[in-house]
A and B are shown apart, each in its own frame.
Chain A
Amino acid sequence: MSLRNALIDPSELAVSEPLRLTPVSPAFARYRVLALALRWLVAGAVALATMPDLAEAEPGLVFWPLGLTTLALLHLACAWREARSRSWGIRHHDLLYASGLIQRRLTVLPCNRIQHVETASGPLERRFGLLRLTCFTAGGLSADLVVRGLMSHDAERVRQYLLGRIHELDADAAPPLEHDPDPAPS
């Protein structure tokens, strides 16, 4: 058996480059803050409705609205900053998503592990033109990837690209079938 061991041109060697990801849409930060603010408003309304009764029993409770408002503002500021720090990227073989403020997470999902792709959006997300992209794998919930903060057109383009890649990879991997009576598994 002959051994092929040809010389490689050093200029052709791959150079390790830092990952340059694309920030998610700026609309996502506005959406996050608005969604959280609505939640805080509901919680605040419930608290205000019950506060007069509680304040009678415990006079110190009158300072709670101030504390809660500070906490809510701090939460909204952190959510804004965290949403602005999210980024994503797509390469030939995988999809990348970075998130988190104090705890940074970079998730890599190889295309050949994606079983199907789904896009979804709530009413508030649609108002901001956002779409959620969920990639499902064989690993169940713990291995799925949800990419949030993409504009509708970007999410649709990524979805189409990923579906195309899944199709290509399936065609490459599958051996020719002689007989396929019913493709539907259980």
Chain B
Amino acid sequence: MISGTWHRLSPLAVVYLFLRGTIGIARENLPLLFGAGAGVALFDAIGLREVALLAAVLLIIGFVVALLQYRRFMFRIDGDLLLVRKGILEQSELKVRSAQIQQVMVEAPWHLRAFGLVRFSVDTPGGAATEVELPGIRPATAEALRRALEPEGRVLDPAAAPTPNRIALHRASGIDLVLHGLANNYAWVALAALMPLFHRLSRSHEERLAEFDLPPWLEVLLEQPLLAAGGGLAAMLLTLMVASVIIAVLRFHGFVLERDGGRNMPPRFRQTSGWASRREQILNGARLQVVEHVQTPIGRLLGRSHLLCRQIGSVQIEQDPGGQLFIIPGLTARKSADLLAELWSGRASTATLERVHLHYRRIMWLRLTGVAAVLLGVIAGQVDDWRWWLLMLVFTPLFAGLAHLRWLSVGYAMRDGWLQIRVGLLGRRTSHFPAANVQRIQLRQNWFQRRRKVADLILTLATGPITVPCLPEERAWGMLEDVLERIEGPVLPAVA
């Protein structure tokens, strides 16, 4: 039984804690040490043997710290509470009530899988990051913890508890994942994260590169700059696309989405995915705030989109390196509509969207041309050449087209207390949520909008603000009152 007594992590977790701490320190300091050439200077100054000795001492300290972390780390279940004690110099005790848990994640990264261990973490509304993490426990312990934190697990003996109904909702095929990888910019994110390291390395190796003999084909290519630039760009794009597909396949390999939950219970959604790092995420349906249907520009061409389920305090970044977001990848239009209905227990409305006022198009066009005119004015003043202004002849119709595309992509609908708000330019992002989830409402009007009798409506949810721009004034007031009625009026019926 997991309840009652204090439990420790698996003894093998010491190795994991040690490796994690060492890799963390190395990742933070290596670019600084070697990139700036300080490492070479250090070796020269104190000698290789001394450096090795210093490294050995640091490793021993790291191992002792990992051992102390293991000894002080304890957890137990007490009723509906998960208690975690940790800390070396400053001890802390965390208490998480099971009712507050939004998401449970059991992860088996390759370095833990080698020891037969998993990482267990829970998300609560308190913060964007994982609040409680148990690094390195047995899969059976993780399963017992998960069962104990479920509503039925608390009142019944977990051994005697009936297996909850589990229905498979979506399985992502290889084609789905390849198309998802092509449609999304996973490689760009990885590239952006590695850019500081590349920058430092390129600076330290600049001189050596200059002395390096280029192969003859590269020298011929470099003599034709346009061809070289085109080839380089194509090669970079191809590499990024391949890398993006590989990252997506590794992240979502074997993706299965299932629905748990019996009668009179809020649904729970479980997704299992990952190749090197196997991950199981369980989302509490009652804690769901917004479901976003995301169509990237390439995704629209390929006919694929993904769903993003956001809870209270959900991170606002798009590609989460830690895998915190609950993403359902590689969906066709029909499948995404079916899953939206499942996620909101059939209550979400998918009404035809209304367009915002035409003044929005004019405002967008004026903003873009205004910014471009100022920038070109500055450039023309700096280089003392008025011909820069001629570029406005190109930009003005281009911005008119962009403003029109933007206006076409923005839409909203409110029916039976459910809201859909779509934004985008070439891509589309549609947020689906019940009006009762709104935390704060703001009606905003600038001088121009007051004259034209239009207003922006900003609906702030526990995941962040969503704006419906340029609504006719009466419609904005009507929506504000409708949303208020949903928040302040009777609560929506319980999820079946």
Q: Which residues of A contact B (CB under 8 A)?
A: 93-94, 100, 102-113, 137-140, 142-145, 173, 179, 181-182, 184-186
* Known A94-B488, A112-B487: A142·B465 in contact at CB below 8 Å: yes
Q: Are A181 and B79 in contact (CB under 8 A)?
A: yes
- Neighbour of A106 across the interface among B94, B442, B450, B460, CB < 8 A: B442
Within 8 A of A (CB), among B427-464: 439-447, 450, 460-464
Task: Tell me whether B440 and A113 are in contact (CB under 8 A).
Answer: yes
17 contacts between A and B (CB under 8 A): A100-B444, A102-B446, A103-B446, A104-B446, A105-B443, A108-B443, A110-B484, A110-B487, A113-B440, A142-B460, A143-B460, A179-B79, A181-B81, A182-B95, A185-B97, A186-B94, A186-B131
- State which of A103, A144, A179, A185 has its C-beta within 8 Å of the C-beta of B444: A103
User: Which A residues are in CB contact (< 8 Å) with B480?
Assistant: 108
Residues of B within 8 A of A185 (CB): 95-97, 100, 124, 126
Given contacts A185-B95, A186-B131, contact A139 B460 (CB under 8 A): yes
Assess whether B79 is in contact with A109, with CB atoms less than 8 Å apart. Answer: no
Contact check, B95 vs A143: say whether CB atoms are below 8 A apart: no
On whether the beta carbons of B131 and A143 are closer than 8 Å, the reply is: no
Say yes or no: B312 contacts A138, CB within 8 Å: yes
**Could you tell me if B440 and A139 are in contact, using CB atoms closer than 8 angstroms?**
yes
Which residues of chain B come closer than 8 Å to A102, judged between CB atoms?
A: 446-447
Q: Give the distance to chain A from B91, nearest Cβ to Cβ, in Å.
A: 15
Tell me which of B95, B312, B313, B443 contacts A184 (CB under 8 A): B95
B439, A137: Cβ atoms closer than 8 Å: yes
A113, B125: Cβ atoms closer than 8 Å: no
Asked if B441 contacts A139 (CB within 8 A), the reply is no
Chain A residues, Cβ within 8 Å of B464: 139, 142
Determine how close the nearest CB of chain B comes to the CB of A169; give it in whole angstroms. 10
List residues of chain B with CB within 8 A of the CB of A142.
460, 464-465
Whether B132 sits at the interface, judged by CB under 8 Å, is: yes
Tell me how far the C-beta of B314 lies from the nearest C-beta in chain A, rounded to whole angstroms. 11
Q: Report A18 CB to chain B, min CB distance, Å.
A: 10
Q: Mark B95-127, 1 if CB is under 8 A from A, else 0.
A: 111001000000000000000000000001110
Contact among B79, B96, B444, B487 with A113 in the assembled complex (CB-CB below 8 Å): B487
A102-B447, A108-B443, A138-B312 known; 17 other A-B pairs, CB under 8 Å?
A: A102-B446, A104-B446, A107-B442, A108-B440, A108-B442, A110-B440, A110-B487, A110-B488, A111-B488, A137-B462, A138-B125, A139-B312, A139-B460, A143-B465, A145-B440, A179-B79, A184-B95
How many angstroms between the C-alpha atoms of A94 and B94 in the bound complex? 34
Contact of A186 among B96, B312, B443, B444 (CB under 8 A): B96
Is B78's beta carbon under 8 Å from chain A? yes
**B101 CB to nearest A CB, Å:** 10
Contact residue among A93, A103, A181 (Cβ-Cβ distance under 8 Å from B488): A93
CA gap between A109 and B483 in the complex, in Å: 11
Chain B residues whose CB sits within 8 angstroms of the CB of A138 once the complex forms: 125, 312, 439, 462
